[in-house]
Each structure stands twice: as C-alpha cells, then as structure tokens.
Amino acid sequence: MSLTRVDSVERIIILREQGEAVTLYRAKKSKKKKQSTLLKPLEKAQRRMAKAMVASSQSYLDRHRSSNRKKKNGWLRDLSKNQRKALRRGVKQLTRKID
C-alpha cells in the first residue's frame, strides 16, 4: 500500500472501540513571520524591485547570448537595443498589477 502526503491534512487519528484515540500523523505548525507592521510595505516594495531586476538581467543575458550567436561581435552591435528591451522588461515586471 502506497501512502501519499496531502498538504491539506493536519492530522490522522484512529479511534478504537475502547474509547482511546491514537494519532498517526500530525502536521508541524508553521511559524509566523516576525515583522513590524510599518516595515511590511517597504519589504514588499524591495522584493518587487529585486524581482524586476532579476527579470531585467535575465532578459539582457538571453538577448546578449542570442546576439553573440547570430553575428560577429553581435553583442556590441546590439548592445543598446538589448539593454533597452531588457530595461523595458524590468519596468513591466515592476509596474505589473499585483494579484
């Protein structure tokens, strides 16, 4: 018999005829994040900025590699275009609607 773990299950208890209960599984309680209320929006903004920078950097690296493969010294020829498009991608990530 194969058992699979389901995240929504908090505990599994077997009830016996004698009125005793045996706990087979109990999920660990996750710890609450400690953070002051005033710093929460600042942390969220910082995280969004970091994600936008990652998106922009990754976009530039992909375009850099592609330009280098296509032409001799392609990375230099397409430098301004690649930087502009990568920056646009980062700005899109930063200004995207928050879910």
Kindly report, residue by residue over 4-48, the tens digit of the pLDDT: 777 788 888 888 888 888 888 888 888 888 889 999 999 999 999
The pTM assigned to this predicted structure is 0.64
* Residue 89 domain-assigned (yes or no): yes
Q: How confident is the model at residue 2 (pLDDT cuts 50, 70, 90)?
A: low
Domain of residue 93, residue span: 65-99
* Residue 74 domain-assigned (yes or no): yes
- Average pLDDT value for residue range 64-69: 96
Is pLDDT above 90 for 76?
yes
Write the DSSP symbol of residue 96: S
* Residue 34 domain-assigned (yes or no): no
* Number of Cβ atoms within 10 Å of the Cβ of 37: 6
Domain count, the chain: 1
* Residue 45 domain-assigned (yes or no): no
Does residue 76 contact residue 63 with C-beta atoms inside 8 Å?
no
Is pLDDT above 80 for 1?
no
Find how far residue 33's CA is from the centre of its chain. Answer: 17
State the number of CA atoms in the 13 A half-sphere of 13 facing the CB: 7
